[in-house]
């Protein structure tokens, strides 16, 4: 061992000190910090990046820079989720039939159940994406119907409108206002039944 230390120009005492304690204090601190980083990254649903995890760690009282957190996450392969991949879709086919804008941005209504507005949004759950369609009465601004499904299709909107009709039983002149997305311009909604 003496000859090897001499060839490599390493002190024997330094070699034996390293042999007894191979991990430096910084490496031990990095391991402890990496455990906290993994915990917060998994708690976020594998979504958070180094900036948000640094903020979480600082909220706990940890002293660390975002560069250090970034380095540890990179070496461990922990990455933030950036956007959500969208599948290419076919946009051909028949032209959508958009209804005329009868409401014309007159959202102040004087009687209940004369004008409703509808839209939908997506919500990320532990089981995947869910889509929520809501119908509100423009007079009271209350939700009068809603539906939730795992797909954003015409059936979702039809169920929301039907639940509003079932709950409120409006007159024949009730107007349902929505945007002109493909879900709202399908024949199931625009054609009279």
pLDDT band at 193 (very low <50, low <70, confident <90, very high): very low
Domains with residue ranges and CATH for the chain:
2-76 (no CATH), 115-190 (3.30.420.10)
- Is residue 185's pLDDT more than 70? no
Which DSSP letter does residue 137 get? E
Instruction: Using DSSP, state whether 105 is helix, strand or coil.
Output: coil
Q: What's the rounded Cα separation, in Å, for the pair 144 and 117?
A: 10
Q: What's the rounded Cα separation, in Å, for the pair 109 and 115?
A: 7
Q: How many CB atoms lie within 10 A of CB 41?
A: 22
- pLDDT value of residue 92: 60
Distances (CA, A) of 58 to 25, 45, 46, 75, 148: 20, 20, 19, 21, 38
The percent of residues in the chain predicted with pLDDT above 90, rounded, is 31
pTM of this prediction exceeds 0.85: no
pLDDT band at 177 (very low <50, low <70, confident <90, very high): confident
Q: What's the rounded Cα separation, in Å, for the pair 141 and 178?
A: 15
Q: What is the mean pLDDT of the chain?
A: 83
Poorest-pLDDT segment among 3-12, 46-55, 115-124 = 3-12
């Amino acid at each position: 061992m003496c000859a090897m230390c001499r060839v490599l120009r390493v002190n024997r005492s330094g070699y034996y000190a390293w042999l007894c304690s191979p991990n430096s204090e910084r490496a031990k601190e990095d391991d402890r910090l990496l455990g906290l980083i993994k915990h917060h990254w998994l708690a976020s649903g594998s979504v958070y990046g180094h900036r948000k995890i640094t903020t979480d760690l600082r909220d706990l009282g940890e002293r660390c820079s975002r560069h250090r957190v970034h380095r540890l996450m990179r070496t461990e392969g922990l990455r933030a989720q950036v956007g959500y991949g969208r599948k290419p879709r076919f946009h051909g086919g028949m032209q959508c039939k958009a209804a005329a804008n009868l409401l014309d941005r007159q959202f102040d209504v004087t009687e209940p159940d004369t004008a409703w507005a509808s839209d939908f949004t997506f919500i990320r759950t532990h089981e995947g994406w869910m889509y929520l369609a809501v119908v509100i009465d423009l007079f009271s601004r209350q939700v009068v119907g809603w539906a939730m499904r795992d797909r954003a299709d015409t059936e979702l909107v039809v169920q929301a409108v039907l639940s509003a009709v079932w709950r409120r039983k409006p007159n024949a002149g009730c107007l349902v206002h929505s945007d002109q997305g493909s879900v709202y311009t399908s024949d199931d909604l625009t054609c009279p039944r």
